[in-house]
Structure 1
Amino acid sequence: MSMFKHSAAADSNSDDRLEQATHWFLRVGSESAGVEDLSEFKRWIESDPKNELAYKQVSAAWAGIGAHAAAPEIIVARRNALDDARRAANRRWSIRAWRVRSLALAASICVALIGTALYFYLQQGVYSTGLGEQRALRLDDGSLITLDAKSTVRVAYSDDVRLLVLERGRARFDVARDPARPFRVQAGNQTVVAHGTQFNVERVANTVLVTLMEGRVSVTGITPQTDTPAVPAPGKKLSIPVVELSSGQGIQVRANGSATVVRKIDVQQATAWQSGRLFFNNESLASAAERVNRYSKLQVEVDPSVADVGVSGTFTAGDASAFVEAISTYFPVRAEHVSASVIYLTAQD
C-alpha cells in the first residue's frame, strides 16, 4: 500500500486533499521525478475522483500566474517551491513527516499563488489584504510593497514625497532610489524614512516593529530617554530623537514612544512570513496570537492572566490548532473552545 493513500478521515477534509494535491503537483513536476513517483501519483489520482479535481485546482491556480511569469517575485517563488519539491522527492518519509512537509509545501505554494496572482502596479489609494491573504504591489516608481495577511496600507505619492501609511498589520518595502523624493512609511506615531533599502514595518500589540534587511533607515517618533524638556528653552529648538538603523538591525517602539533597538536581527526569520512561517522568540502570547489570527479562521483569544507568557518556536501560518496545542502542552495554559471559530486561552486552575 502506498504511504500516500489517505484515510477515510482525510477524505472528509478538503484542506488535507489540497495539501496532497499540492505535494503531488510539485513532486511530479520536479526534474528528479522518476517512474516510481509517476506510478504512485497515478494510483493516488485513480483512487478517488476528488483527488483529480483537487489536482486540477492546484494546476489551474499555478497556471493562472502565467501572465505575470516575468515578475521577479514570481520567478523566485516558483524556483523556491520547485527546489523544495526536488529535495522532498529524494527523501523517504513517514506518514507524519510527509504531512508536516506537505503542509509546508502547501503553505509555500499558496503564499506564492495568492500573493503573486494579485501583483499589480499602483500609485494612489488604500490597499488591504484579508484573512490568510498576501499581496505584492508594485508602485509606479519601481518600489515594491508586500502586504501580509489582514494588513492595510495607504499610498499617497506627490511630486515632493512618497508617503505610505501602514494602518494595520505588516508589510515589506523594497524601495527604488529617488533622491528627489524621500520614501516615508508612517505607522502610528512613528515614521520610517528609507534611503534606498529593504525593510519590514509591523503594527502588533500596540507596538511598531521595524526590521531592516538591507540599506539604511531613520526612525522618528521616539520618546527621548533623557531629561530633555518637552518645551525648549528660549532661543533653542526642541531636540527630536531620530534612530538610525543599518542592515541587519531592528527597533521596537512601544505605544508610549519608548524604544528598544535590536543590534542584530535574523534576516531569515524576519522575512519567513512571506513563505508561510511564523517565528517567535520569547514573544508575548498576546502578540503571538495576534499574528496567528491573521491567517486562520480559527481565532485565538488570550486572557490577560496569560497575555505575557513568553512564546518561542516556529509555526505554520494558518495552523492555529497546532499553535494552541503547543501552548497548552508546554505552558500552564488552558484552551477552551468558546465556539467553532474561537479558542480562549486562560491560566490553568
Structure 2
Amino acid sequence: MTRSQTDIDAEKAEAEIADAAIDWLVRLQGGVVTERDWLDFDAWLTASPAHARAYDAVLAFDRRLDFDARFDAHFDAHGAQTAPVDALAASSAGRVVRLRPARRVWIWSAGAAIAAAFVAGAVLLPSSGLIGAHETTYATGVGERRTIVLEDGSRIEMNAASRLTVRFERHARRVRLDDAQAFFDVAKDSSRPFLVSAGDTQVRVVGTQFDVRRRDGQVAVKVQRGLVEVSPDLPRDAAPFRLRPGQGLSYREGRAADASLQAVAVEEVAGWRQGRLIYRDQPLSQIAGDMNRLFPRPVRLGDAQTANMRLSGVLIVDEQDAMVDRLSHLLPVRTTTTKDAIVIRAR
C-alpha cells in the first residue's frame, strides 16, 4: 500500500522535531551553557506539545544509555558481577546525566534510530510514577547539618534545626520550607522547573545555586550562581524579582511590599556552610535564635532592649562559650552562664 504525501510529510516533520530534541540535549549538557541558551530552549520546548514529547523521549533514551553503560561496567570480562546491581539502579534512577564525549558521539550516531523509534511510537516515555510523584520530608536537629542528593542530581545542604519537604512531579520539582535554611545546587532540567515555597514566597529556577532562609517569619533569598525568580505575595500585576549572582532579597512575611534587592558577597551566601555567621544590621534576637539552633544549651535574652540590639559582623562557629564571649566584645552586653542556660543582658 502506497503511503500518501501527507503521511510522508508528517513523518518528516516528526523526525525533524526529534533531531532538534537531540541537538538541545547535547547543547544543554555541554561545558558552557548561557542564560540565552536556556531561554531559547524554554521557548522551543513550550512552542508545541510535540517538542516536549520528543525531548522526553530523547532524555529517556539518554538515561537508558547511561544505565546500560554503568551496568556493563559492574561486570568483568567473564560476566562476574563486581558491584551490586540494586545499588547501581538506585543511584542512577531519575538522574540527569551529563553527556561525556564518547556518549555524545554515540547519541549523534543514534539520532536516526531515535527519530525513527519516536515516529513509530516505539520509545516509551517515563510515566509520572517512574519520575517519582511522591513526597519526602527531611529534617535536621539542633547542631546537625545534612546534605541531600535528590533523584535528579540536585543537592540540598540543610542548616541546623531545619525541616523541608520535597515533591517530584511530572512537570515540576517542588520543595516546601517550613522553619529552615538550605542551600540549593539545582540540576538543570528546563522541562521541570525547580520551585521552592517559603511561606508566602515562591522561588523558581531551572538550574542554579542559591540560599533560602525562612526563620521566625523572615524570608531571605541569596544567589550564588545563575538566575533566580522570586515571587513574594505581591499584587497579581506585580512582576517577580529576578535575582542574579551577588544579589539577595529579604522581607518579613505578610509585608512583601517592603522587599527590595540587595547586594550580597559570595562569601556571605556560603557563610553558614563554612562555619561563619555573617550579619548585616541584624537584631540580637536573630543571633540568639541562630545559636539556639546550633547548641542544646539555650541562649536567653534578658529584656526587649537587649533583644533589639543590632549587630553587623561575623561570628565564627566553634564552641558555644567562645561564641558568646566574642559576642560580648562586639556589643555592650554581659553574660551569665548557668548549667541550664546562658543569659545575655545589656550592660
| Counterpart residue type for residue 286 of structure 2 | S
Match of 1:59 in 2: none
**Distance in structure 2 (CA, Å) of the matches to 1:308 and 1:262:** 24
**Distance in structure 1 (CA, Å) of the matches to 2:313 and 2:184:** 26
How far did residue 295 of structure 1 move? 1.3
Structure 2 length normalisation: TM-score? 0.57
Note if contact 2:134-2:169 (Cα within 8 Å) is conserved in structure 1: no
| Counterpart residue type for residue 294 of structure 2 | Y
Note if contact 1:252-1:260 (Cα within 8 Å) is conserved in structure 2: yes
| Counterpart residue type for residue 310 of structure 2 | G
Match of 2:156 in 1: 145
**Distance in structure 2 (CA, Å) of the matches to 1:162 and 1:260:** 26
Match of 1:193 in 2: 204
**Distance in structure 2 (CA, Å) of the matches to 1:334 and 1:243:** 41
Match of 2:250 in 1: 252
Comparing 309-318 and 194-203, the one that deviates more: 309-318
Is the alpha carbon distance of 1:150 and 1:278 closer, same or farther for their aligned partners in structure 2, counting shifts above 3 Å? same
Give 3-state SS (helix, strand or coil) of 1:282's partner: strand
2:331 counterpart of 1:320 = no
Note if contact 2:317-2:323 (Cα within 8 Å) is conserved in structure 1: no
CA RMSD of aligned residues (A): 2.5
**Distance in structure 2 (CA, Å) of the matches to 1:288 and 1:150:** 14
Give 3-state SS (helix, strand or coil) of 2:256's partner: coil
Q: After superposition, where does 1:70-89 map in structure 2 within 5 Å? A: none
Is the alpha carbon distance of 1:182 and 1:306 closer, same or farther for their aligned partners in structure 2, counting shifts above 3 Å? same
Give 3-state SS (helix, strand or coil) of 2:177's partner: strand
Give 3-state SS (helix, strand or coil) of 2:293's partner: coil
Match of 1:333 in 2: 333
Structure 2 gaps, min length 5: 1-86, 92-132
2:231 counterpart of 1:220 = yes
- Listed one character per residue, the Cα deviations across residues 244-280 of structure 1 (whole Å, up to 9, x for unaligned) are 1111100002122234434421111221211222222
Match of 2:29 in 1: none
**Distance in structure 2 (CA, Å) of the matches to 1:331 and 1:315:** 12
Q: After superposition, where does 1:6-25 map in structure 2 within 5 Å? A: none
How far did residue 204 of structure 1 move? 2.4
Give 3-state SS (helix, strand or coil) of 1:293's partner: helix
| Counterpart residue type for residue 240 of structure 2 | V
| Counterpart residue type for residue 245 of structure 2 | S
4+ runs of 1 displaced by more than 4 Å? Answer: none
| Counterpart residue type for residue 167 of structure 1 | D
2:308 counterpart of 1:308 = yes
| Counterpart residue type for residue 219 of structure 1 | V
- Listed one character per residue, the Cα deviations across residues 160-181 of structure 1 (whole Å, up to 9, x for unaligned) are 2111011112101111111111
Aligned length: 216
Structure 1 length normalisation: TM-score? 0.57
Structure 1 gaps, min length 5: 1-66, 72-121, 225-237
Task: Specify the structure having the higher radius of gyration (Cα).
Answer: 2
Match of 1:98 in 2: none
Is the alpha carbon distance of 1:257 and 1:341 closer, same or farther for their aligned partners in structure 2, counting shifts above 3 Å? farther
Note if contact 1:222-1:259 (Cα within 8 Å) is conserved in structure 2: no
Match of 2:118 in 1: none
Note if contact 1:151-1:170 (Cα within 8 Å) is conserved in structure 2: yes
| Counterpart residue type for residue 209 of structure 1 | A
How far did residue 315 of structure 1 move? 2.1
Is the alpha carbon distance of 1:262 and 1:301 closer, same or farther for their aligned partners in structure 2, counting shifts above 3 Å? farther
Match of 1:288 in 2: 287
Match of 1:266 in 2: 265
**Distance in structure 2 (CA, Å) of the matches to 1:286 and 1:271:** 22
**Distance in structure 1 (CA, Å) of the matches to 2:299 and 2:239:** 37
**Distance in structure 1 (CA, Å) of the matches to 2:215 and 2:290:** 8
